[in-house]
Structure 1
Amino acid sequence: MQRRTHDWRIDERQYARHESRRGRRHAFEQLDPRRTALVVVDVVPFFVEQNEYAFGLVPRVNALATALRDAGGTVAWVVPGPSRRTAVDREFYGEEVAAAYSASGGSGPLRDRLWHELEVREDTDLLVEKSAASAFFPGRSPLPELLAERGIDTVVVTGTVTNVCCESTVRDASTLGYRVVLVADACAAVDDQDHNASLHVVYRSFGDVRPTSAVLELIGA
């Protein structure tokens, strides 16, 4: 499969809006790798196999994971768990799609459920399951507690799908008080329109938006 990258963008008027408020384009101009976690959301076969954009983010995720891990930071791999197939789910999605989403994370050991090209270090990395769109929604994932144990104050979010689970994760992480960076070219949606709509919302209200190259520079600074 071809590895594609979204033609991502933030409107200049949004950059100008924040520059006029805080005197700089990006909220977070530095980070402490030891207090930073790379949160990789839902990079599993269900979302990767039929989406060239999801397939294309894998090398960037691996580069970020290696750099942050080597700098003393945390890498957290998040896998969809069986969701509660409520009456509302079935009404909203229909029976077939609700069942498919509920099973989207697969079964078995968490490492085996991730996309096979991801470079995971099970001796140091966190592997967690979530039962909601967000990896930070209270009671639906152990991730917030695990990050608190490691003194994490900054999360760098990557994965799929940009406008669903990644955006939900960013919103809840922001609500919990984390410094949040969404990696623009290491997330994937089904098309550029959906992807860029989420980048706009996140940059405007919930966190910073940076490309992989800029995040790698922050890690190495």
Structure 2
Amino acid sequence: MNSSPGTHAWRIDDREYAQQQRRRGRQHAYEHLVAERTALVVIDMVPFFVAGMPYALGIVDNIGRLATALRALGGAVAWVLPAGTPARPDFYGPEVARALRESGGTGPLRERLWPEFHVHDRDLLVEKTAASAFFPGRCALPELLERRGIDTILITGTVTNVCCESSARDAAALGYRVIMLADANAAGRDEDHNAALHTIYRSFGDVRPTEEVLELLRSP
């Protein structure tokens, strides 16, 4: 079990690590990162989701550190915001549906993000009209990343087991190398967070903490 202040007590079962070791001869799918071909994708870090969730507040610093390091090494940083897509009131109920429609806020995209983040001019700012930022036709992100020659995606943000997991699955389906940051994603409970990490690690990508990813990015 691993955690840092304010983040989830995350874990991958030893049996899962052992299974992957047997399958491919190593514990982690991706042991080398090329910073220039890597994008940090930050999902839904807007006041609607961050302000009311302690774990989301706890990952702000790690996301900032990753963004700073990746920019300096020539990689991409992409901020993905909910576009206020109509949510079905028959499924969510009228109050929740209305809240979800308004979750992305109004005004320029840069101003809708959680205010502690610093967005640089070369960063990508996009909206998505589905849970996933990689579902075809629902977000411009895949096309923008293709133009920059990106082949590796670092998934961060909230909520781990909804939009972040959906984005990780679809990115993997599109052929990206996917790493979900164990201590830079947030859900309401450790149980929900860890269930999503387990699914990604087993079937769609890799799971690593921030410090390990920073080390991989800086390694020659």
TM-score by length of 2: 0.96
Match in the other structure for 2:118:
119
**1:27 Cα deviation (Å)?**
0.1
Question: Structure 2: how far apart are the matches of 1:159 and 1:119?
Answer: 15
**1:219 Cα deviation (Å)?**
0.8
Aligned-partner SS, 1:169: helix
Match in the other structure for 2:55:
53
Q: Deviations over 1:134-180 (max 9, x none)?
A: 00011110000000000100000000000000000000000000000
**1:95 Cα deviation (Å)?**
1.2
**1:96 Cα deviation (Å)?**
1.1
Give the one of 190, 193, 198 matched to 2:196.
Answer: 198
Q: Which runs of 5+ in 1 are unaligned?
A: none
Match in the other structure for 2:8:
6
The residue identity in structure 2 corresponding to 1:201 is T
Match in the other structure for 1:149:
147
Question: Structure 1: how far apart are the matches of 2:214 and 2:101?
Answer: 34
Match in the other structure for 2:64:
62
Aligned-partner SS, 2:36: helix
Report percent identity of matched pairs: 63
Match in the other structure for 1:109:
108
Aligned-partner SS, 1:203: helix
Give the one of 195, 203, 208 matched to 2:206.
Answer: 208
**1:82 Cα deviation (Å)?**
1.6
Give the one of 10, 20, 26 matched to 1:24.
Answer: 26
Question: Structure 1: how far apart are the matches of 2:89 and 2:49?
Answer: 20
Question: Structure 2: how far apart are the matches of 1:20 and 1:4?
Answer: 34
Aligned-partner SS, 2:104: coil
Question: Structure 2: how far apart are the matches of 1:16 and 1:92?
Answer: 40
Question: Structure 1: how far apart are the matches of 2:58 and 2:94?
Answer: 31
The residue identity in structure 2 corresponding to 1:32 is V
Match in the other structure for 1:91:
90
The residue correspondences of 1:112-191 to structure 2 (distance < 5 A) are 112-121=111-120, 123-191=121-189
**1:102 Cα deviation (Å)?**
1.2
Question: Structure 1: how far apart are the matches of 2:76 and 2:184?
Answer: 17
The residue identity in structure 1 corresponding to 2:154 is V
Aligned-partner SS, 2:48: helix
Match in the other structure for 1:217:
215
Aligned residues of 2:43 and 2:81 also touching (Cα < 8 A)? yes
CA RMSD of aligned residues (A): 0.7
Question: Structure 1: how far apart are the matches of 2:216 and 2:90?
Answer: 45
TM-score by length of 1: 0.96
Aligned-partner SS, 2:74: coil
**1:99 Cα deviation (Å)?**
1.1
Aligned residues of 2:86 and 2:97 also touching (Cα < 8 A)? no
**1:84 Cα deviation (Å)?**
2.8
Aligned residues of 2:128 and 2:139 also touching (Cα < 8 A)? yes
Aligned-partner SS, 1:75: strand
The residue identity in structure 1 corresponding to 2:113 is L
